[in-house]
């Protein structure tokens, strides 16, 4: 059955992947609600924005009046809440935006959704879902352990970013427990893929290498992350939003644990193969690798146990790290016009520094 799905943060990296998937592979109607901060880029949606099933509203999730208007106007069956400030380095330098968007914004959206849900008829009320998209960083650091994050892992956030996301997760679960709002929560591992904003580790390393710039890696590069191809994540999110059990949490991971140094070396190897004639001033792309002072409170290992979403909903990632990384590097090599507009400021971008996932 076709549904109307409201996606907050739909012009961002993961949100735009969700919307592209919904328009290209389902019959659902999409309402993209995005404030268009620095990380929101409507050019990531040019493949689908001409569809009659796609609608865009430039709205801040902290603006209750505008959120209520959008809900009343479009009458969504599902809210997929992805809007968030998400860069750890930025949260360390300036936590206030993270508190406002991730905590106050989620509260504002939950309150509006609760009121909207209470006005629906019995059938539509039973079908309604509020899907909150979060991160594995809320669980903290697995350093010194071979364990994996499960849906029962206690929260232990380390950065202002992860603390703000943990807070929003707790709010969503409280609105389910206290008010009965039909919510779902997903916690994902590190995403990568096309249309990734170039302040993040993988796109920054690709673009710095192509420009002959240093490839700065925090500390010794031994930090371990589980890497999830963004289009796999988009499929998983739609699966949870449409088929997940109300009140449940689902961890979504790529089964690809890699150190940051391994990730950067894999990028260099792919560029040697795919762009060997573009090197600037070095014999090998890996010659550009440099190590910089680690950031405060840096978690050393994240790893997701994604067995629940597999057993309960039948989702598994389609891409391995090798296939997904090859697709990612190839995409950046063939879409220079997209990332150059971000880098040179003609979009909304800024000159970028050290990358971190």
Annotated catalytic residues are 136-137, 161
In degrees and rounded to multiples of 5, residue 305 shows phi and psi of -95, 105
Element containing residue 133 per DSSP (H, E): strand 129-135
Q: Report d(CA 63, CA 11) in Å as an integer.
A: 18
Q: Residue 193: which region, alpha, beta or left (left: phi > 0; alpha: psi -120 to 50)?
A: left
As given in the structure block, the two tokens for residue 170 are 């707790």
What region does 288 belong to: left with phi over 0, alpha with psi -120 to 50, or beta? Answer: alpha
Whether the Cβ atoms of residue 202 and residue 225 lie closer than 8 Å to each other: no
Q: Give CA–CA dist 120/77, Å, rounded.
A: 10
C-alpha distances in Å from residue 185, one per residue of 179, 244, 251, 318: 16, 10, 9, 22
The DSSP string of 185-229 is EEEE-EEESTT--TTSHHHHHHHHHHTT--EEEETTS--EEEEEE
Rounded to whole angstroms, the Cα distance separating 114 from 108 reads 10
* CA–CA distance, 18 with 193 (Å, rounded to integer): 13
Asked if 85 and 101 touch (Cβ cutoff 8 Å), the reply is yes
CA–CA dist 217, 223 (Å, integer): 10
The strand pair at 257-259 and 224-229 is best described as antiparallel
């Amino acid at each position: 059955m076709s549904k109307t799905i409201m996606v907050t943060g739909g012009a961002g990296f993961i949100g735009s992947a969700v919307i592209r998937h919904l328009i290209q592979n389902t019959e659902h109607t999409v309402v993209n609600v995005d404030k268009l901060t620095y990380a929101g880029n409507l050019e990531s949606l040019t493949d689908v924005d001409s569809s009659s099933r796609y609608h865009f509203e430039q709205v801040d999730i902290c603006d209750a009046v505008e959120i209520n208007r959008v809900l009343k106007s479009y009458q969504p069956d599902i809210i997929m809440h992805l809007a968030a400030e998400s860069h750890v380095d930025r949260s360390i330098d300036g936590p206030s935006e993270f508190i406002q968007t991730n905590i106050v914004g989620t509260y504002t959206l939950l309150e509006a959704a609760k009121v909207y849900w209470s006005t629906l008829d019995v059938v539509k009320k039973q079908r309604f879902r509020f899907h909150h998209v979060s991160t594995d960083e809320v669980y903290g650091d697995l350093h010194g352990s071979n364990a994996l994050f499960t849906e029962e892992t206690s929260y232990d956030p380390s950065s202002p970013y992860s603390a703000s996301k943990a807070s929003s997760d707790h709010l969503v679960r409280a609105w389910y427990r206290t008010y009965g709002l039909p919510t779902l929560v997903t916690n994902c591992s590190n995403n990568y893929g096309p249309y990734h904003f170039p302040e993040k580790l993988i796109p920054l390393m690709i673009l710095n290498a192509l420009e002959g710039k240093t490839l700065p890696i925090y500390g010794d590069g031994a930090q371990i992350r589980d890497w999830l191809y963004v289009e796999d994540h988009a499929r998983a999110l739609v699966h949870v939003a449409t088929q997940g059990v109300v009140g449940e949490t689902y961890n979504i991971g790529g089964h690809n644990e890699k150190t940051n140094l391994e990730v950067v070396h894999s990028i260099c190897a792919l560029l040697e193969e795919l762009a060997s004639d573009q090197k600037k001033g070095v014999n090998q792309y890996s010659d550009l690798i440099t190590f910089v002072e680690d950031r405060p409170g840096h978690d050393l290992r994240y790893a997701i146990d994604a067995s629940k979403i597999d057993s309960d909903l039948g989702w598994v990632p389609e891409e391995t790290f090798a296939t997904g990384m090859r697709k990612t590097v190839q995409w950046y090599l063939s879409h220079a016009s997209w990332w150059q507009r971000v880098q040179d400021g003609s979009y909304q971008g800024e000159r970028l520094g050290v990358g971190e996932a």
